[in-house]
Amino acid sequence: MTGSTSPALASAHDVELAALAAAGSRPAFGELVRRHSSAVRGLLRRMGADAALADDLAQDAFLAGFEQVADFRGEGAFQGWIKRIAARLYVRRLRKDARVDLMSETPEPHPPHAGEGAAADRIDLDEALKMLSAAERVCISLCYGAGLSHAEVAEALNAPLGTVKSHVKRGLDKLKQRLAPVGRGEDEDQVAGRPVHG
Amino acid sequence: MADLEFETRLDRLFAEPPHFPDAPLFALKVDERLNRGWTLRRLVIGALGLVGGVIGVAQIMSSGVLGKLQFVSNASAKSLNDLAALAPAKLSLPALPFGGEALWMSALLAILALGFALTRAIKEI
């Protein structure tokens, strides 16, 4: 596995590459890493990991993926499969470090809407996710970023299903407000009697 | 309906990965860690094999198997000598239409063929 890749591998489908990797082809797995590393690293950062931790865990996820690649049958997308491995690694780390009380129903304090009304911010998912509590952020990322069902998230977090659902609901409400189209957000602000900034 | 639309939009936003300029470097780091893992694994397997071999040889030496083998060897040599004395002269190796070397070569080839067949059979399984 080097910086470059052969044309045959570059044009191969993920399922073919995974089959080759399962047979021990490291260049094939390298191509999969090249294709999907950004998605995995991005997901981990969106879940709340800092850059260094996200990169470490993404590497761990790919190493684990190489060990388990024979289990990938191609029923879903490879990216979803490897993202789920990475997400579960991050959740395990959170639980180990006990940094987030994922059982907590109480919303954690979060920064106010910085730059409310700024059009550019409204479409930035990464900025919007920062407005959520850690638990909401993890639950939303697991559901929409890693493609886990509410029940799977509850199992991964070892939290009651109802708690997960309420974190997702609250997170969605906040994101909806934050990511609303400019016009709609301003209208809502005006209806609510709030001043609309710049 | 609006909720569904928003969730679809959220799915789409999550599906768009951020751009990482250091992506090639990241791939290299994963490769390095895979290399390190394989090297370590090979070293551990080699070391375990060596330790196992040493322990096995030590066990064989201490169990007196070599002495027993010597005894069995002597006994079989004696039996063969007795058999040769009893056997008619016609069955002696020099009387065969081919030499003793040919007999040994045939036995060797038969063993090789058996090994090859076993390997193929194991691969098939």
Domain ranges of chain A: 1-99, 112-182
Residues 6+ apart with CB under 8 A from B24: A3, A34
Residue A113 gets which letter from DSSP? Answer: -
* Phi, psi angle pair for A125, to nearest 5°: -60, -40
Q: What is the pLDDT of residue A194?
A: 40
Q: What is the pLDDT of residue A186?
A: 44
Tens digits of per-residue pLDDT, A1-13?
545 667 888 889 9
In angstroms, the Cα distances linking A197 to A117, A118, A121, A126, A186 are 6, 8, 13, 22, 9
Which whole number is the average pLDDT over A173-179?
Answer: 88
Query: What percentage of chain A exceeds 70 in pLDDT?
Result: 76
Q: How many CB atoms are located within 10 Å of the residue A94 CB?
A: 19
Which whole number is the average pLDDT over A58-80?
Answer: 92
Q: Does A68 touch chain B (CB under 8 A)?
A: no
Q: Does A39 touch chain B (CB under 8 A)?
A: yes
CATH class of the domain comprising A1-99: mainly alpha
Tens digits of per-residue pLDDT, A35-62?
999 999 999 999 999 999 999 999 999 9
Q: What is the pLDDT of residue A142?
A: 93
* Residue A121 pLDDT level (bands cut at 50, 70, 90): very low
**Residue A125 and residue B20: Cβ atoms within 8 Å?**
no
Domains A1-99 and A112-182 fall in the same CATH topology: no
pLDDT of residue B23 exceeding 60: yes
At the topology level, CATH places domain A112-182 in Arc Repressor Mutant, subunit A (1.10.10)
**Residue A30 and residue B27: Cβ atoms within 8 Å?**
yes
Looking at the complex, report in whole angstroms how far the Cα of residue A59 sits from the nearest Cα belonging to chain B: 6
Rounded Cα distance between B96 and A104, Å, is 92
* Residue A111 pLDDT level (bands cut at 50, 70, 90): low
**Residue A42 and residue B37: Cβ atoms within 8 Å?**
no
**Residue B10 and residue A62: Cβ atoms within 8 Å?**
no
Task: Check residues A30 and A3 and name the one with the higher pLDDT.
Answer: A30
Of A37, A66, A141, the CB nearest to B23: A37
Average pLDDT, chain A: 81
Q: Which of A37, A39, A43, A41 is nearest to A55 (CA)?
A: A41
The interface pTM score, or ipTM, of the predicted complex is 0.72
Q: What is the pLDDT of residue A116?
A: 47
**Residue B30 and residue A144: Cβ atoms within 8 Å?**
no
Task: Check residues A159 and B38 and name the one with the higher pLDDT.
Answer: A159
Looking at the complex, report in whole angstroms how far the Cα of residue B53 sits from the nearest Cα belonging to chain A: 28
* Phi, psi angle pair for A8, to nearest 5°: -65, -45
Contact between A53 and A27 (Cβ < 8 Å): no
* Residue A22 pLDDT level (bands cut at 50, 70, 90): very high
Tens digits of per-residue pLDDT, B56-109?
888 777 777 777 788 888 888 888 888 777 765 555 555 666 667 777 888 899
Select the residue from B4, B8, B19, B20 to test the A interface by mutation, using most A Cβ atoms within 10 A.
Answer: B20
**Residue A55 and residue B26: Cβ atoms within 8 Å?**
yes
Q: Does B84 touch chain A (CB under 8 A)?
A: no
